[in-house]
Chain A
Amino acid sequence: MLQIKNLHVKLEEEDKQILKGVDLTVEAGKVHAIMGPNGSGKSTLSYVLSGKDGYEVTDGSATLEGVDLLEMEPEERAAAGLFLAFQYPVEIPGVGNMTFLRTAVNAQRKARGEEEISAADFLKLVRETAKTLKIDAEMLKRPVNVGFSGGEKKRNEILQMAMLAPKMCILDETDSGLDVDAMKLVADGVNALRNEGRGFLVITHYQRLLDHIKPDVVHIMANGRIVKTGGPELALEVENNGYADILSEVA
């Protein structure tokens, strides 16, 4: 599904190398988790994959189902099936959440040569999905993320993910800022989307989320590289001992 090879990324504006050779493959149907100390490059990886400005790829490649991601515009990557749940979802005053969702769904359909969703079908789908995430109608009417609590913003990300039904989902610290119940809701939302055709890359600092979303593979990222890869037990090790052991082991 997602294949990243030897990815090197520096900041466009300054001479600062952030990713220093990331190798990572997420197979369809699998959930991979990435953990790693603050500033190790996890968000940068997710931004580079989704096409944010300000980064320069100096080496390596990233493909989605064999198609070069890095050559595409952000909207083309989305239409190709990539989705990023932002660590810090953006507020867009003046654009209603509903308008935003519908514009996005239809833009992707159009890019794929599909028909636009009818207003009635769309409404039905949003309402149903929102309900499972305990997002009320009033929140749907408000401008995108404006005045949303931290947890509401994260649930809104999952709502978008469910509506867009991407092939490859990257979740950047979707658990941060969530209370225990909300974490369960979000995890249920993610689990409901798990299927054989879909890949997940879940960035998190805590084992707790991984209790709910059981990963197949866990990676540790440090200083711009994947330094260790293992099974779910790796997340437990981090939870119990922190990164010190792992980092000294690979140093």
Chain B
Amino acid sequence: MSATKLQPLKVEAAEARLAALTLPEGAGWATEARKAALSRVAAMGLPHRRDEYWKYTDPASLVAAEAPKAALFHNDEGPLFDAIDRVKIVFVDGVFDAAASDDLTLTGVEIERLSDACTKDIHWAKDIYGVLEARNAQSKVDRPLAALNTAFAADGVVIRATGKASKPINLIYLHKSESSDAMLHHLVRVEVGADLTLLETGPAAARFSKVMEVDVADGGAFHHVRAQGRDHERRAVTGTYARLGKESTFKSFTMTFNGVLTRNETLVELTGDDAVAHVAGACVGDGKDFHHDDTVFVTHDAVNCESRQVFKKVLRNGATGVFQAKILVQPGAQKTDGYQISQSLLLDEDSQFLAKPELEIYADDVACSHGSTSGAIDEEALFYLRSRGVPVAEATDLLTLSFLGEALEEIEDERLAQDMLDRLSGWLSRRR
């Protein structure tokens, strides 16, 4: 289909979707940003599978005016990270639950609800809301679902770290209604030299749209560890849009269990010299209904920055994994050190991994490498383990965990890493 035929379809889809939505009232200064986002959506239209970056993932169910239902998933495991001292902020089907949440107070950090922040005339968040999401760092890539979120997401948190946060903040997303269609929009600002760890856990909703805009000032450090919950039928489209100042650090790790459709977009712009960005993800999917898409764009626009993307996928029983990612090195971004690896472990012949790794480099003094592989369990290693008495199922799990190792190692905090590993082992052992 030609572009001229495609665009009207996308605009039509946007019109259908917009008809079912209303802009939040009393949004204060955000109203302007919301209206601007709305007109961006109207102009871009909503994604279509013929779009370049939706080729491998059909956005239809994310675009549809009505969200498909998703059964609730019950299991007897306690909440993730439960033994770790943290500030819990709970959302039930996309709505803040004050009673279930801790006080929004934390040394070194200011935390507010988005709806409260919007009504204050002077607020730092004004300069970020809808701004990082819309920045044209990689202009060929439209992000209309993120713009839709900017326009309509009524809830979310606004977090500003001014020093070293004394403990992590955990956004907990509970899914309690089979037909919930939730949107959340968070803003994070890490001030000069500040340090924040943000955890996100839970399935969130039947259909979940989340945007998080992250602004890390010079010398700031942002650590992000997320686990997307296990409800098999849930759908999610998430976008993380980050801008990094000089000598700042951004480290994000996402673990995805199950889900009929997950699209995680991450755009990181390194705008200050000597900044570091690590974006990592691991997913485990079982069955034809599993579809997971990581779409990552890292833009180097400063000197001597390091970026690292590590994505690993374990796919079984016909599961599908998608990885499309680019390292873009802008003119002048010399001494860039860029690394990108995406690998899938296909546990059977029905599973598939679709990868589109890209490098686009406009500077001459850079070191960038990327690689993408997909393969089965190493039979030699499996036999070696079995010959030592390790049963085939346990040996397979051991090799699977070792495959995911390079991604899991991106979680710096050992307790968080251990919790994640335990969940993963549980997930695998239930499938023996």
Binding site for B on A (CB under 8 A): 50-53, 73-75, 77-79, 83-84, 86, 89-95, 99-100, 103-104, 107-108, 111, 143-144, 160, 164
Q: Are B389 and A92 in contact (CB under 8 A)?
A: no
Residues of A within 8 A of B402 (CB): 92-95, 143
Residues of A within 8 A of B395 (CB): 75
Which chain B residues in 277-311 approach chain A with CB under 8 Å?
Answer: none
> Once bound together, how far apart are the Cα atoms of A164 and B387, in whole Å?
11
Confirm or deny: B391 has a beta carbon within 8 angstroms of a beta carbon on chain A. Answer: yes
Confirm or deny: B15 has a beta carbon within 8 angstroms of a beta carbon on chain A. Answer: no
| Distance (whole angstroms) from the CB of A125 to the closest CB of chain B | 16
Q: Are A86 and B389 in contact (CB under 8 A)?
A: no
Confirm or deny: B381 has a beta carbon within 8 angstroms of a beta carbon on chain A. Answer: yes
Q: Are B383 and A52 in contact (CB under 8 A)?
A: yes
Confirm or deny: B406 has a beta carbon within 8 angstroms of a beta carbon on chain A. Answer: yes
User: Given A52-B383, A92-B381, A95-B399, are A103 and B406 also a contact pair (CB < 8 Å)?
Assistant: no
Q: Are A107 and B390 in contact (CB under 8 A)?
A: yes
Task: Give me 18 other A-B pairs in contact (C-beta within 8 A), A74-B387, A75-B386, A77-B387 excluded.
Answer: A73-B391, A75-B392, A78-B386, A78-B389, A79-B389, A84-B387, A86-B384, A90-B380, A93-B402, A94-B401, A94-B403, A94-B405, A100-B385, A103-B385, A103-B390, A103-B398, A108-B388, A108-B389
Q: Are B385 and A104 in contact (CB under 8 A)?
A: yes
Please name the residue on chain B nearest to A82 by beta carbon. Answer: B387
Residues of B within 8 A of A74 (CB): 383, 386-387
| Distance (whole angstroms) from the CB of B166 to the closest CB of chain A | 33
Residues of A within 8 A of B384 (CB): 86, 89-90, 92, 144
Q: Are B387 and A78 in contact (CB under 8 A)?
A: yes
User: Given A93-B402, A103-B394, A104-B390, are A53 and B383 also a contact pair (CB < 8 Å)?
Assistant: yes
Residues of A within 8 A of B398 (CB): 95, 99-100, 103
> Once bound together, how far apart are the Cα atoms of A78 and B405, in whole Å?
27
| Distance (whole angstroms) from the CB of B345 to the closest CB of chain A | 11
The 10 closest A-B pairs by CB, nearest first: A94-B402, A78-B389, A108-B389, A104-B388, A74-B386, A90-B384, A94-B405, A95-B402, A75-B386, A107-B389
Residues of A within 8 A of B405 (CB): 94
A-B contact count (CB 8 A): 79
User: Given A93-B402, A94-B403, are A75 and B391 also a contact pair (CB < 8 Å)?
Assistant: yes
> Once bound together, how far apart are the Cα atoms of A210 and B194, in whole Å?
66
Interface centre among A53, A75, A91, A100 (most CB of B within 10 A): A75
Confirm or deny: B379 has a beta carbon within 8 angstroms of a beta carbon on chain A. Answer: yes
Interface centre among A51, A52, A74, A91 (most CB of B within 10 A): A74
Q: Are B394 and A107 in contact (CB under 8 A)?
A: yes
Which chain B residues in 383-423 approach chain A with CB under 8 Å?
Answer: 383-392, 394-395, 398-399, 401-403, 405-406
Interface centre among A50, A90, A91, A108 (most CB of B within 10 A): A90
Q: Are B390 and A90 in contact (CB under 8 A)?
A: no
Please name the residue on chain A nearest to B388 by beta carbon. Answer: A104
Which chain B residues in 197-213 approach chain A with CB under 8 Å?
Answer: none
> Once bound together, how far apart are the Cα atoms of A78 and B402, in whole Å?
23
Residues of B within 8 A of A160 (CB): 388
Residue pairs across A and B with Cβ atoms less than 8 A apart, 14 shown, are A51-B387, A52-B383, A52-B387, A73-B391, A78-B386, A86-B384, A92-B378, A92-B399, A94-B402, A99-B398, A103-B385, A104-B390, A111-B391, A143-B402
User: Given A94-B403, A94-B405, are A107 and B391 also a contact pair (CB < 8 Å)?
Assistant: yes
> Once bound together, how far apart are the Cα atoms of A91 and B398, in whole Å?
14
> Once bound together, how far apart are the Cα atoms of A160 and B394, in whole Å?
18
Q: Are B383 and A75 in contact (CB under 8 A)?
A: no
Q: Are A92 and B386 in contact (CB under 8 A)?
A: no
> Once bound together, how far apart are the Cα atoms of A199 and B111, in whole Å?
70
Please name the residue on chain B nearest to A94 by beta carbon. Answer: B402
User: Given A92-B384, A92-B385, A104-B385, are A75 and B399 also a contact pair (CB < 8 Å)?
Assistant: no
